[in-house]
Amino acid sequence: MADLDVLQKIVLKVFKSRTPSIIQSLVLVYSRIINNTGDEETFDFDRVKLAELVEFLASFSIENRMGLKILIDKWLLQQSLFRGKHTKTATFMALTKLFLLKDKKIENLLVIGFNPSHTNINSDVCAPLKILSTLIRCLDNECGGQKESSDSTNQNSMGEEPEE
């Protein structure tokens, strides 16, 4: 695995960061590690089992918050703000792997839920539910954009003006 101190410092930076672009860059590091899990070796990191990475993230805390919770909270809250096809694809695939892992640490984790009133009272939800809803929202956003573009293409081919 990559240097554990560096990975722990990345989580600390995620914890302190408020800017979506910085959080995106830091989450992308973990996304790449998650997407490279397996038995073979890669250029930068030894491939690790995903369960070992989850175990590592659960093994430390920052200001009484587990590293795993810090990373997943910020990741899920900021996922919709991530920019760039590569970043969206990498983070989407990594979230899918985390969801399919069905690790007890993730299954029992409570993360910040979306609360439209912006109050944080009792807004925690189960991590797998939040991961799944984030994945569905991402798919819907991607498919929605393709549908709109194909609708305007179809209208233009029929000689109609696209709706505004």
pLDDT of residue 46: 47
Indicate whether 142 pLDDT > 60: yes
Domain boundaries, the chain: 4-140
Asked if residue 62 lies in contact with residue 73, where contact means CB atoms within 8 angstroms, the answer is: no
Which structure tokens are listed for 37? 């899990």
**pLDDT tens digits, one per residue of 96-110:** 999 999 999 999 999
- pTM of the complete model: 0.78
Phi, psi (deg, nearest 5) at residue 116: -60, -25
Phi, psi (deg, nearest 5) at residue 124: -75, 140
Residue 32 Cα distances to 2, 3, 110, 114, angstroms: 12, 15, 24, 26
- Cα-Cα-Cα-Cα torsion 102, 136, 65, 29, nearest 10 degrees, comes to 90
**pLDDT tens digits, one per residue of 110-135:** 998 876 655 656 678 999 999 999 99
pLDDT of residue 115: 62
State the average pLDDT over residues 31-53.
Answer: 70
Structure-model confidence comparison of residues 15 and 161, the more confident one? 15
**pLDDT tens digits, one per residue of 45-76:** 444 689 999 999 999 999 999 999 999 999 99
